[in-house]
Amino acid sequence: MSILFRTQERLTIFDLTHAWGSELAKDGESEQHVQDLARILLQDIVNGCLDESGPLRNGRRLGVGVITADYKIGFIEGHYFLDLVKSELMRDWCLHYIVVMKEAALDFARRREIPPPSWWSDHISISTDAKIRNSPPLIADAPVPTSTYSARPRGRKPNKFGRTKGAMHEDIRLGRLTANGLREMPEKTLAGRYAVSRDTARKVRNAVLSEIPPTTHLPSSAASE
């Protein structure tokens, strides 16, 4: 799947860590690699380590952005995500709506001394004039828990709830469905769309909508693309 990312300038944390974690695992334990990678990446984001490692835009090299309500990218300093990352209800939202620029991902790999994502490492090198800050101490009082993902025992397939929830998030992220459209869709239609029972469709929809803010507000300093 990672070859499909070659032309992407950015990926959500969910897409990046799943594809990259699988590459790092090689001999198995991919779910653990995905979880560890997401935890460390989120720590670096909220500590500002990716704030100066992205492409140059308006005199800044912000390496992190957020998918806004109109499905554009707003570039933003990482510390603005701290409260969202600390919220158990918002962690899934962070995975699907925070995006990491490829330059920032490559710099993250260099600093953490891990192999970079294969689909990007052959196509871009980090600009030498980017001023990369040293990693500040991790936030002791607000560590990013390893439960960011819904981990499951190895060898078991994801249940219908988890699979459907991921599909709904993906449809919203890609613009195939809006939050209002999801909210107003009849249960019969919703169940047919995701091939689940009405009861499952209703429960998953409630869970997904509870994780999506009505609108995504960016600080005035955020630059939209």
For the segment 90-139, what is each residue's pLDDT rounded down to a tens digit?
888 999 999 999 999 999 999 999 999 999 986 544 333 433 344 333 33
Instruction: Indicate if the pLDDT at residue 152 is higher than 50.
Output: no
For the segment 153-208, what is each residue's pLDDT rounded down to a tens digit?
444 445 788 888 888 888 887 778 888 888 888 988 888 888 888 999 999 999 88
**pLDDT: which is higher, 224 or 48:** 48
Rg (CA), the chain: 18
Tell me what the pLDDT averaged over the chain comes to.
Answer: 78
pLDDT over 70, % of the chain: 76
Check residue 180 and give its pLDDT.
84
Q: For residue 29, what are its two tokens?
A: 């334990």
What are the structural domain ranges in the chain? 2-152+214-224, 160-210
Q: Yes or no: say if 84 and 76 are a contact pair by the CB < 8 Å rule.
A: no
Check residue 145 and give its pLDDT.
38
Residue 44 pLDDT level (bands cut at 50, 70, 90): very high
Q: Yes or no: say if 67 and 178 are a contact pair by the CB < 8 Å rule.
A: no
Q: Yes or no: say if 70 and 59 are a contact pair by the CB < 8 Å rule.
A: no
Residue in this structure with the two tokens 């459907």, named with its chain if needed: 164
